[in-house]
Amino acid sequence: MSFGVPLAVLVLACLLAVALGARSVGLGTTVDALWALVTGNADAAQGNIDAAAVLSRVPRTITAVVVGASLAVSGVAIQGATRNPLGDPALLGLTAGASLAVAIGLALGLAGGLASVLASSVVGTLGAAVIVYVVASASQSLGGFSLRRLTLSSPDPLALILAGAAVTAGAMAGTTALLISSPAVLERFRFWNVGSVARAELSDALWLAPVALAVILAVVALAPGLDALALGDDLAHGLGANPQRVRVSLFAAVIVLSATATALAGPVAFVGLMVPHALRRFAPANHRELTVAAALWGAVLVVSADLLGRLVIAPQEIHVGVSTVVLGAPLLLVLLRRRRFV
């Protein structure tokens, strides 16, 4: 699989994202403004209204790239680790767990800045992941549940989805109860919970981008283990892989990537489910190629969704948490219709 095409599309999408909006700017001015930012002359460019418009869109575009790549790769990792084609941070309750943890943090006065929101997201995502996996694994155990017998084998896909639905419902109920009981928390939480990159700060995006890149590269390095897991645990052992170690590493990567995306943009669903399935239509040779392609196309999806949301009802906007579903749902239905969903 060639990565030149998605990389070129991503660059084009980013250029359009910073150039177009309520005030559209020509390509020349856009390039000049970006060059001023790169060379450290952004303050001088702020005097030009068009250049200032371009620079104001840079933080949200970088954030969209980080969020899209993180969610798409987390989808590849969780689908491969669980051998569940419906694996997705939102469907398995990880996003709802992060939202509940952030709401609790806001209620306690802890989650204000990015660092505290990120910490809350990690704790919530980790808690939801542990509950879902323990419940799904326990459903396969005969004679009752025992922590001693619990191993990191691949749980039943249906059990994972049902456990994820239960955790999602419980976390959403807890979040709603907190918001109803505390109007002050509701006022702060509603701006975060909508799923948006509109309030992105460049410093936040640049702080978390290296974290996301490092974890994505770790998933790429673990890709041979994903190839082995696709054959089943017994064959994976025969090929020299350690399924439990691979799953622990992948789950850790999913937690960090999901928490990073959620901390930056709030809950954004559908990306981790849709992008890997869309790419499997082109039958990538292995999970390493699939992971890299998912990172690029996931970034393209979220950047495009953000741009579409700003153009459709300009000068108002549709938040990216809504526009990703609008873009992704028809594509998934087409894939299902052609029986290329799984």
Structural domains in the chain, sorted by start = 4-337 (1.10.3470.10)
Query: What's the DSSP call for residue 147?
Result: G
Q: Which residue has the higher pLDDT, 147 or 125?
A: 125
Tokens representing 195? 């799923």
pLDDT at position 138 over 80: no
Q: Which residue has the higher pLDDT, 68 or 87?
A: 68
What contacts 224, CB < 8 A, 6 or more positions away? 241, 286, 287, 288
pTM for the whole thing?
0.86
Lowest-confidence segment of 53-57, 65-69, 261-265, 279-283 by average pLDDT: 279-283
pLDDT at position 205 over 50: yes
Asked if 259 and 95 touch (Cβ cutoff 8 Å), the reply is no
Asked if 248 and 126 touch (Cβ cutoff 8 Å), the reply is no
Reported as a pLDDT band with limits 50, 70 and 90, residue 145 is very low
Report which of 168, 178, 111 is spatially closest to residue 135, judged by C-alpha positions: 168
Asked if 91 and 56 touch (Cβ cutoff 8 Å), the reply is no
**Interatomic CA distance for residues 275 and 71, integer angstroms:** 9
220-247 core/surface letters (b: 16 or more CB in 10 A; e: else): bebbbbbbbbeeebeebeeeebebeebb
Asked if 247 and 81 touch (Cβ cutoff 8 Å), the reply is yes
pLDDT at position 303 over 90: yes
Most confident of 30-44, 214-228, 273-287: 214-228
